[in-house]
Amino acid sequence: MKSARKQKRAYHRLIKDMNIICCDKPMKIVLICNAGLSTGFDKQMLESIVNPIITECEFIMPQGRSYCFIRCRSEMDAVELYNKLHGRFILNRQRTILYLTYIQSVPDVYNDTSNFTLPPGLKIIEDFIDEKEEKLLLNIVDWTNMGSFSSDLKQRKVKHFGYEFQYHSNKVDPNLPIMSIPEECSFLQDLFKKHGCGTYDYDQLTINHYLPGQGIPPHIDTHSPFEDTILSLSLSSSCVMNFKKGDVKVNVVLPQRSLLVMTGEARYAWTHGISSKYSDLIETTNGVVKQMRGVRTSFTFRKVRRDPCSCIFVEYCDTKKDSFSSFIDNKSAAELERSYVHKVYNEISDHFSETRSKGWPNVIKFLNSLNDGALVVDVGCGNGKYLHTNENIVKIGCDRSSKLAEICRKRNFEVLLSDCLHLPYKDNSVDFAISIAVIHHLSTQERRKRAISEMIRILRPYEIVQNLLTVICLYLGKNELVTISLDIIIFLKKKNYQNYVQRFLWY
Ligand SMILES: O=C(O)CCC(=O)C(=O)O
Ligand SMILES: [Fe+2]
């Protein structure tokens, strides 16, 4: 008994060293602490033990390790497995009692589902530049001076050259060049050609500056603004970049002074990102080592595109999506929304309402800033989470989900059951309209345009004309989240509204 406890403690220490977070409460992933490839345990043996208890699970058996992971389909399966095996199952030959624990996640280094092959079209050129050249490049930028075309983002600092990368749209304006790429980089253009990275000169450079613990969310660089090849030079520290397509994940080490080349499928269809961590686990010939991150600066070179993207990765392509949406007729669009939006919201309304009690702070700030007596309509008000903000204004709402409207009514909010394409209010009748996270549920541009027009129709004309785009940007903030939730709309005015609708849809 005593030795078993000792053994268990030793394994837990090891687990701690590997950054694995053990949990007392059930999780979907179970770790067998004391049996793995290095103890003579193999996949066949593991399957023969686990499969009679649960099916459809994934086995992760790291090379040279004395433990292994089982990713179960559900927590219930994990509990079943844990209860049957932990402290109970004895491995015949070694007379070892298996010890199990629940864990939150499999360390990234073992999460690699690709068997270590790189995504197609991805290449790493090690030692692309020497130390002297690295120093020269690092000296180009002064991070204490964040002038124009620089941003101090939450997770990193950035500077742009050639064309500004606009984080609200994830695009560049090809008609608006900014200061050109620094002269000190011109030797790189020759090196790129020498290594077969395209025949053109790259004309857009984004320099990212990451402190340890910082990163970049997973993303695919938008197709329409940039040509196929995207290059990223890693300076002053290495890091691990995570690539993902569907369920397949590949973690790629970007060594200091290496060049990452993304073309074809890797550029167009795989997301890339860097998790916000202080260290990376790296698989080496001596096993897994923990590598602390230093301050990393990357130079990302792109070529601005002048023609529409003609890639074959249709489902990831914004050019293709834009033209695709115009093919959907109104009837099919309405059908899609009925099945995938209205039905779903009615089914999940209770859970949705329980998990959506807090409003977005900037919207609350906006509502609190309004003059007493103002009449505000919340289009797509959901469970009415904004309808109790600021008791000095009058709030009404509407929603397409009868279940959510019912929840609102029970809370004594004045809510109508309505589609955002046909608002049940008179022209020029409300002072303000807000619509938060609604527009993206409409499946064509035409319908989105119509929803915006409807909101403008019901607004009273204002003397003070403010710019709709300014308002959208103001409330989205200069945060990267902007790119995924473009549909917070707060209208303050109406004038030449067709203009605004056009400009809004340009995003
Ligand atoms: O830091 C890097 O290497 C990648 C940067 C990146 O993906 C981007 O700016 O889009
Ligand atoms: Fe990127």
What would the mean pLDDT of 266-284 be, rounded to a whole number? Answer: 90
Structure tokens at 2: 């005593």
> Which ipTM was obtained for this model?
0.99
**What would the pLDDT profile of 200-243 be if each residue is shown by its tens digit?**
899 999 999 999 999 999 999 999 999 999 999 999 999 999 99
Least trusted range by pLDDT, from 173-182, 313-322, 349-358, 484-493: 484-493
Residues 81 and 143 occupy one common structural domain: no
What would the mean pLDDT of 269-298 be, rounded to a whole number? Answer: 87
Residues 188 and 305 occupy one common structural domain: yes
Residue 170: give its domain's CATH number: 2.60.120.1520
Query: Amino acid identity, residue 479?
Result: N
Helices (H), 310-444: 318-325, 330-337, 343-355, 361-368, 402-410
DSSP string, 137-158: HHTT--TT---TTEEE-SS-EE
- Residue 264 is assigned to a structural domain of this protein: yes
Least trusted range by pLDDT, from 310-324, 397-411, 470-484: 470-484
Please tell me the predicted confidence (pLDDT) of residue 492: 44
**Dist. CA 81–CA 70, nearest whole Å:** 10
User: Whose alpha carbon is nearest atom 2 of ligand 1?
Assistant: 298
Q: In this structure, are strands 157-161 and 150-152 parallel, antiparallel, or unpaired?
A: antiparallel
Q: 273 CA to middle of ligand 2, Å?
A: 7
Q: 396 CA to middle of ligand 2, Å?
A: 42
Please tell me the predicted confidence (pLDDT) of residue 379: 92
Cβ 258 under 6 angstroms from ligand 1: no
Cβ neighbours around 277 below 10 Å, total = 17
Entry pTM: 0.57
Residue 300: CA count within 13 A, CB half-sphere: 19
Residues 183 and 316 occupy one common structural domain: yes
Residues 184 and 280 occupy one common structural domain: yes
Residues 400 and 317 occupy one common structural domain: no
Q: Tokens 């490049």, residue?
A: 137
**Dist. CA 40–CA 449, nearest whole Å:** 63
**Dist. CA 244–CA 270, nearest whole Å:** 5
Least trusted range by pLDDT, from 139-143, 313-317, 389-393: 313-317
Residues 203 and 320 occupy one common structural domain: yes
Residues 468 and 399 occupy one common structural domain: yes
Cβ 272 under 6 angstroms from ligand 1: yes
Residues 97 and 127 occupy one common structural domain: no
Q: Coil, strand or helix: which one is 271?
A: strand
CB 223 within 8 A of CB 317: yes
- CA 136 from chain centre, in angstroms, equals 33
Cβ 170 under 6 angstroms from ligand 1: no
User: Whose alpha carbon is nearest atom 8 of ligand 1?
Assistant: 300
What would the mean pLDDT of 26-51 be, rounded to a whole number? Answer: 88
Q: Which domain holds residue 46?
A: 2-107
Please tell me the predicted confidence (pLDDT) of residue 259: 97
> What's the farthest any 2 CA atoms get from each other in the chain?
86
Per-residue pLDDT band at 115 (split at 50, 70, 90): low
- Residue 343 is assigned to a structural domain of this protein: no
Residues 127 and 101 occupy one common structural domain: no
Paired residues of 249 in beta bridges:
244
Q: 298 CA to middle of ligand 1, Å?
A: 7
DSSP assignment, residue 339? I
Q: 272 CA to middle of ligand 2, Å?
A: 6
Per-residue pLDDT band at 94 (split at 50, 70, 90): low
Residue 447: give its domain's CATH number: 3.40.50.150
- Residue 485 is assigned to a structural domain of this protein: yes
Residues 399 and 444 occupy one common structural domain: yes
Give the H or E element holding residue 266.
Answer: helix 264-268
Q: How many domains does the chain have?
A: 3
- Residue 295 is assigned to a structural domain of this protein: yes
Q: Which residues contact 175 (CB under 8 A, 6 or more apart)?
A: none
Paired residues of 297 in beta bridges:
209, 235
From the alpha carbon of 234, which atom of ligand 1 is closest? Answer: 3
Q: 114 CA to middle of ligand 1, Å?
A: 22
Residue 410: CA count within 13 A, CB half-sphere: 10
Residues 271 and 361 occupy one common structural domain: no
CA 43, 48, 49 angle in degrees (round to 5)?
100
Of 310, 325, 340, the one marking the end of a domain is 325
Residues 83 and 126 occupy one common structural domain: no
Of 79, 107, 135, the one marking the end of a domain is 107
Structure tokens at 349: 């309304």
Compare 481 and 444 and report the one with higher pLDDT: 444
Cβ 298 under 6 angstroms from ligand 1: yes
